[in-house]
Amino acid sequence: MFDGTVITVRYAETDCMGVVHHAVYPVWFEIARTDYIKSLGLSYAEMEKDGVMLPVTGISCRYKLPAKYDDRLRITTRVTRLTPARIEFEYELRRDGEDEILATGTSSHAFVDSKSFKPLNVRKVLPDLYNAVEKEAGQ
Amino acid sequence: MFDGTVITVRYAETDCMGVVHHAVYPVWFEIARTDYIKSLGLSYAEMEKDGVMLPVTGISCRYKLPAKYDDRLRITTRVTRLTPARIEFEYELRRDGEDEILATGTSSHAFVDSKSFKPLNVRKVLPDLYNAVEKEAGQ
Amino acid sequence: MFDGTVITVRYAETDCMGVVHHAVYPVWFEIARTDYIKSLGLSYAEMEKDGVMLPVTGISCRYKLPAKYDDRLRITTRVTRLTPARIEFEYELRRDGEDEILATGTSSHAFVDSKSFKPLNVRKVLPDLYNAVEKEAGQ
Amino acid sequence: MFDGTVITVRYAETDCMGVVHHAVYPVWFEIARTDYIKSLGLSYAEMEKDGVMLPVTGISCRYKLPAKYDDRLRITTRVTRLTPARIEFEYELRRDGEDEILATGTSSHAFVDSKSFKPLNVRKVLPDLYNAVEKEAGQ
């Protein structure tokens, strides 16, 4: 679990309903999983240079309460599933310092070779990543 | 069912993986449901002026094959559920003229008053919309 | 000159001021220059496959009147300068069927090698493109 | 002058050229001017609630060196012109901790009433804002 991702809502992220557009949340959740990986001492940018990509195979999001321009939000990220071929994340969005959940989301990913786009076994290719996530998520 | 929505992928919609970013698909599906409503002779823009909003309460998307810059894509939109308080859509994305599905998605919406953001009964407030969707989706 | 680019404003392109966010216009102008190139029987996607990229070196935009959700807009695109190393475009945005200008813009581009990102002489590398643009823009 | 705005490049902000898409920079510059106003002890979100909007009347951007995914960038913001009816900003973008400029930009704005969208005299309506900016920008 990592809850250190803080987002301040950008004006461009709102729409004419006066609140954040729903397609922005998956962008925020992507920032949150980048931060999650950094919190393990790793880097998704480095992973890509090492030939491993993590394309999104599925997302979901539930919107409970709107977020507004300039709101300061906090995202909690958890890994809910890890195999050598796949990883799944779960996200919770709150106003920073508040308990009430504004939105929840999930994302599913495959580990693929960044040149061929073919599946790879991340436990073999990037054992440090695999072990670090397994250790963190098993806690 | 409405399958007249055609999208040409914008350069800005791609990311450094070389394909369309996953958060763009909900934006396309929003265009598709706007078109669906227009195909019934109605207008979401008019609905909002009439005081009815359709905020998104949930989305999901499954990504099967990537879309690339300048691809010409076609979206099929179906209403899978309609009540006086809620509506749900389902989307399929293909390259125009091809059968293979690139991605599927869903969205759930509540009918709310555009000033109070409170739920309303769309069968009472906009009977033309309700009846037109019910007729189309029941076919 | 090419004025065949038609845009319908997306909900996601508006902001909480109730109108289109200003950073969307450069995205539209990019669509317009892609269409301009297509109008010459060429393709920017093909150009990139042929090893030529057209990165943006500068943009400007003047906003006169706002555009709103679901507005149908038309963009007029002109090439205002062409050299073997550079190209510049000018854009005008109107509601489709109306004379009044909503916004104007410009973009400047360098022709570069898509692998090295180094400048190249487009008159030598893609003479068909150079000659077609020169002919069109000289008219 | 305010140089405290730090941006980490989002994956969604890149395009298939492998670098940040040019239309993202105006979004970053908007964050920077929000931060500039906050640095004066004020809030653009509050300004809008007080009935003052600052729509963009013009932008420009010059791109010198590309920014990439996960780059940590710093923006320097200056007010280059202030009248009771208008304000203009200038921006410089660098990698955090480096001197070399990646991009520069400008934005021009009108002070308008948030309901009527008509010009207003910000020195009269929000004297605290006007005086704070005048004092900062005059230094």
Tens of pLDDT along D67-107?
A: 999 999 999 999 999 999 999 999 999 999 999 999 999 99
Q: Report CB contact under 8 Å: A19, C16.
A: yes
Apex CA B107: angle with CA A3 and CA C11, to 5°?
90
Which of A21-25, C97-101, D37-41, D48-52 shows the lowest per-residue confidence on average (mean pLDDT)? D48-52
pLDDT of residue B66: 96
Q: Do B27 and C10 touch (CB under 8 A)?
A: yes
Q: Is C127 exposed, middle or buried (0-12, 13-18, 19+ CB in 10 A)?
A: exposed
Question: Band of the pLDDT at D138, cuts 50, 70, 90?
Answer: confident
Q: What are the φ and ψ backbone dihedral angles of D132, each rounded to 5 degrees?
A: -65, -45
C2-138 domain in CATH 2.60.40.10? Answer: no
Nearest-CA distance A72 → chain D (Å): 12
Q: What residue type is A38 in one-letter code?
A: K
Lowest-confidence region among A26-40, A100-114, B35-49, C90-104:
B35-49
H-state helical runs in chain C: 25-39, 44-49, 122-125, 127-138
Number of other residues whose CB lies within 10 A of the CB of residue B102:
21
CATH superfamily, with its number, for domain A2-133? Hotdog Thioesterase (3.10.129.10)
Contacts of D18 in chain B (CB under 8 A): 16
- Residues of D in CB contact (< 8 Å) with B are 11-12, 14-19, 21, 23, 68-69
Q: Which residues of A touch C18 (CB under 8 A)?
A: 16
Give pairs for A47-51: CB < 8 Å, separation 24+: A47/A126, A47/A129, A48/A114, A48/D69, A50/A125, A50/A126, A51/A113, A51/A114, A51/A115, A51/A125
Contact (CB<8Å) B11/D11: no
* Residues of B noted as catalytic: 15
Q: Which residue of B has its CA nearest to A54?
A: B17
Show the low-confidence residues of chain C (pLDDT under 50). none
Q: What pLDDT score was predicted for residue B139?
A: 55
How high is the pLDDT of residue B115?
87
State yes or no: pLDDT of D58 exceeds 90. yes
Query: Given this model, what pLDDT does residue C139 score?
Result: 55
Strand-pairing partners, residue C88, are: C81, C108
Decide if pLDDT at A139 tops 60: no
Contact residues of B toward D, CB < 8 A = 11-12, 14-19, 21, 23, 68-69
Mean pLDDT of A10-17: 97
Inter-chain residue contact A23 with B27, CB threshold 8 Å: yes
Pairing relationship of beta strands C101-110 and C86-95 according to DSSP bridges: antiparallel
| β strands within A1-139, DSSP E | 2-8, 52-53, 56-63, 72-82, 86-95, 101-110, 112-113
Interchain proximity B16–D19, CB inside 8 Å: yes
Confidence band (pLDDT; 50, 70, 90) for A115? confident
- By the 10 Å C-beta count (0-12 exposed, 13-18 middle, 19+ buried), B117 is classed as middle
List residues in chain D touching C: CB distance below 8 A. Answer: 17, 19, 22-24, 26-27, 30, 53, 55-63, 66, 117
Counting beta carbons within 10 angstroms of the beta carbon of residue B54, is it exposed (0 to 12), middle (13 to 18) or buried (19 or more)? buried
Task: Report, as ranges of residue numbers, the positions in chain B whose pLDDT lies below 70.
Answer: 139
Q: Where are the domains of chain D?
A: 2-138
Among candidate residues C76, C94, C79, C81, the one with its CA nearest the CA of residue C32: C76
What's the pLDDT score for residue C82? 97
ipTM of the complex: 0.95
